Structure 1
Amino acid sequence: MLRTLRTPTLEIAYEDSGPPDGLPAVLLHGFPYAPRGYDAVVARLTAAGQRCLVPYLRGYGPTRFLSAATPRSGQQAALGRDLLDLLDALAIPRAVLAGYDWGGRAACVVAALWPERAAGLVTCTGYNIQDIAAATRPAPAEQEHRWWYQYYFHTERGRAGLEADRQGIARLLWRLWSPDWAFDEATFQASASVFDNPDFVPVVIQSYRHRFGYAAGDPALEEIEAALAARPPIPVPSLNLHGETDGVGPVAASAGHGRHFTGPYERRVIPRTGHNVPQEAPEAFARAVLELMAG
C-alpha cells in the first residue's frame, strides 16, 4: 500500500506491505532505479510474515520537499538523514536496513552513526560511505571509465543531457551495470516514471558533484558529513552482497571491506548478477534479509 509521511524536510512516499507488528525491513533503492526493483523481494518477505517498507528516495516518484528553500541535495548525509527521519516518523526503534547504490549508502550511514536503529544491514558492494577527502585522487583507468556518467554530470552539458533524456541515460546505465540481466522494456518502464519528479535532476547532479568536492553541501547536514568523513565503522550484523558482474563497482573492489565492519560480517558474491541485486537476484537478497531478521 502506498502511504506518505512528513519529516522535517520531506513528504516521503513509501510502500508498506506485510503485517504491521514485528521487526520491519526497510528496502532502499538506488540511482537510477525505483521501488519496483524490490517487488520480488517484498513478495518473498511478506510470504514469510515480515513487514516491508520501501520508500521513494528524495527526488524520486511522489516524494516531495516541503520547502522551496531546502537545498536539493543528494549528498550521503541527506540520504542517511532521510532514512533516520523515516524511522522516527513511523516510531520504529529498530529495523533491518537493506539497500544498493544510493539506498545502500543511506543504510550504511544509519548503521554507522545510529547503530541502535539497525537490527542488521544488507549492503550491496560493501561499505558505501564515501571518502570525499580522497575523491580527487585519480582511480585506475578502468574505474575512471566506469565512472564516465559521474564526470558527465559534473558539467552543465551533463545536467542538460539528464534533463532532456532521463530515461535514455537510465536505460543505458541499467545495461552497462548489469550485463547479464536481460530486462525488457516493460520492466524498465515500470521504474522509469519515478524519474519524472521535478527534483530528480537537481538532486542527482548535486549528489555526483558533491562527492567529488565540486558542489557545496546542505549547511544543515555539515555535522553528519563531518562524522562520515572519519569513515566510521559499522558495528551491526552485516551481509555484503556483491554482484559478480557489477559493471560500475567490480567485485574485487569490496574484497577488503571487512575492515570497516566491527560486528558480524559476511561477504557473498552473487553469480551472474550485476549492480541491481534485488531485482536480478531476489531470492539471494530476500534470504539475506530473513537471516538478519532471525537474529
Structure 2
Amino acid sequence: MQRFERDGLVFDVRDGGPPDGEPVVLLHGFPQDSSAFDRMAPLLHGAGLRTLAPDQRGYSPGARPSGRSPYRLREVTGDVVALLDAAGLGSAHVVGHDWGGLVAWAMGAWHPERVRTLTALSVPHPAAIGRAVLTSDQGLRSAYVAAFQVPVLPELLLRAGNGRALRQLLASSGLPGDAVERYVARMREPGALSSALAWYRAVPLAARDRVGTVTVPTLHVWSTGDVALGRAATEATRDHVSGPYRLEVLEGVPHWIPELAAERTAELVVAHTRTAA
C-alpha cells in the first residue's frame, strides 16, 4: 500500500513488514513525517508486525488543504480511520508521537473498536495536558503553541535563511542532524509549513473535539529530557484511562523518542501488542 484517499485528499503511506503480520499504525508529529519511524519500523518488522506509517494531513503533498478547520482533531483522526478502511483492516495497534500521539489518544477514545492497543509517545492525554497548563509549568512549556497562532509571522521566521531558525530549533532540542535536515527540507515544500502549523492553529477549535476516557490497553512512553511536555500531565494521564494502563519513563531522552530511543521503544511496543493477543 503506497497511498490512500479521503475526501479528495491523497495521503502517502509506508507499508512494511510481513503482509500477514499484526498491523501497527505509526503516526508522526511536527515537523516530522513517516520517516520518523525509520529506526523503529525494521525492529517491529523483525518481531512479525506489519507497519503502516502515513505522512499525515499537511505533510503529504496531496493532502494540504488551506485554513485551520481542516486540521481539527476530528478531521486528522478521521484520516486514520480512512487508512484502516483503505487497508481493509477492522482494527490495528496505534502508535503516535507528538501530534500523532494526540491523534492516537483520540482514536482510543472515539474509535475504540478500531484500536487493538494504543501507544502514546511523549504526549499525555489531552485532558491531562489541559489541566497541567493551569496547575504546573506546562503553561510555560506550551507557550510556543500561542506563538504559532499568529498569522504569517511564524512562517517567515522559520523559513528565513533557508530554514536556519527551524534547523537551529530542532538541533538544539536534541534531534539528530540527519533528521533535522530531512524535516527542514520537507517544511520547505510548497504549502508544507503553513499546513503543519495549521494543526496548532486549530487548537482553539478543540472545545468541539473533547477527548474522553480511553478504554483500550494503553502504553504511555514519556522521556525526562522532553522540554515541551512535563511530568505533571504525564502522571495525571492515568486518570483518563479506564483500561489496562502502563507508564514507561525513559531517563534523559529528549522529545524525539522514535529517533533517539528506537530500540527500547520498539521493545515496549512489541510487548504491548502481545497483551492484546
Normalised to the residue count of structure 2, the TM-score between the two structures is: 0.86
Q: Is the contact made by 2:97 and 2:123 (CA closer than 8 Å) also made in structure 1?
A: no
Q: Is the contact made by 2:125 and 2:240 (CA closer than 8 Å) also made in structure 1?
A: no
Question: Equivalent of 1:196, from 188, 199, 207?
Answer: 188
Q: Is the contact made by 2:17 and 2:49 (CA closer than 8 Å) also made in structure 1?
A: yes
Which residue pairs with 1:147 in the alignment? Answer: 142
Instruction: From the superposition, tell whether residues 199 and 92 of structure 1 become closer, same or farther in structure 2 (CA, over 3 Å).
Output: farther
Amino acid at match of 1:188: V
Secondary structure of 2:254's counterpart equals coil
Identity %: 26
Amino acid at match of 1:259: D
Structure 1: distance between partners of 2:161 and 2:139: 23
Question: Equivalent of 2:166, from 157, 165, 170?
Answer: 170
Q: Is the contact made by 2:28 and 2:100 (CA closer than 8 Å) also made in structure 1?
A: yes
Structure 1: distance between partners of 2:67 and 2:150: 23
Which residue pairs with 2:113 in the alignment? Answer: 116
Amino acid at match of 1:194: R
Report which stretch shifted further, 45-54 or 156-165: 156-165
Secondary structure of 2:39's counterpart equals helix
Which residue pairs with 1:14 in the alignment? Answer: 13
Matched, 1:207 2:199: yes
Secondary structure of 1:258's counterpart equals helix
Question: Equivalent of 1:292, from 269, 272, 276?
Answer: 272
Q: Which runs of 4+ in 1 moved over 4 A?
A: 68-72, 137-142, 163-166
Which residue pairs with 1:221 in the alignment? Answer: none
Report which stretch shifted further, 252-261 or 71-80: 71-80
Instruction: From the superposition, tell whether residues 25 and 73 of structure 1 become closer, same or farther in structure 2 (CA, over 3 Å).
Output: same
Note the C-alpha offset of 1:170. Answer: 3.4
Structure 2: distance between partners of 1:105 and 1:166: 30
Structure 2: distance between partners of 1:129 and 1:166: 33
Q: CA offsets, 1:60-114, max 9 Å, x none?
A: 144425xx68866332222211111111111111111001111111111111101
Secondary structure of 1:27's counterpart equals strand
Amino acid at match of 2:144: Y
Structure 2: distance between partners of 1:126 and 1:138: 13
Matched, 1:102 2:102: no
Note the C-alpha offset of 1:5. Answer: 1.6
Note the C-alpha offset of 1:142. Answer: 4.3
Instruction: From the superposition, tell whether residues 37 and 69 of structure 1 become closer, same or farther in structure 2 (CA, over 3 Å).
Output: closer
Structure 1 segments unaligned to the other structure (5+ residues): 218-224
Amino acid at match of 1:17: G
Instruction: From the superposition, tell whether residues 55 and 138 of structure 1 become closer, same or farther in structure 2 (CA, over 3 Å).
Output: closer
Amino acid at match of 1:210: A
Structure 1: distance between partners of 2:246 and 2:217: 9
Note the C-alpha offset of 1:47. Answer: 1.4
Instruction: From the superposition, tell whether residues 6 and 43 of structure 1 become closer, same or farther in structure 2 (CA, over 3 Å).
Output: same
Note the C-alpha offset of 1:191. Answer: 3.2
Q: CA offsets, 1:11-32, max 9 Å, x none?
A: 0101111111132111111001
Instruction: From the superposition, tell whether residues 139 and 198 of structure 1 become closer, same or farther in structure 2 (CA, over 3 Å).
Output: farther
Question: Equivalent of 1:258, from 238, 250, 253?
Answer: 238
Q: CA offsets, 1:240-290, max 9 Å, x none?
A: 000111010023431121011111000010112111111110112111221
Instruction: From the superposition, tell whether residues 159 and 196 of structure 1 become closer, same or farther in structure 2 (CA, over 3 Å).
Output: closer
Which residue pairs with 1:93 in the alignment? Answer: 90
Q: Is the contact made by 2:34 and 2:53 (CA closer than 8 Å) also made in structure 1?
A: yes
Structure 2: distance between partners of 1:9 and 1:272: 43
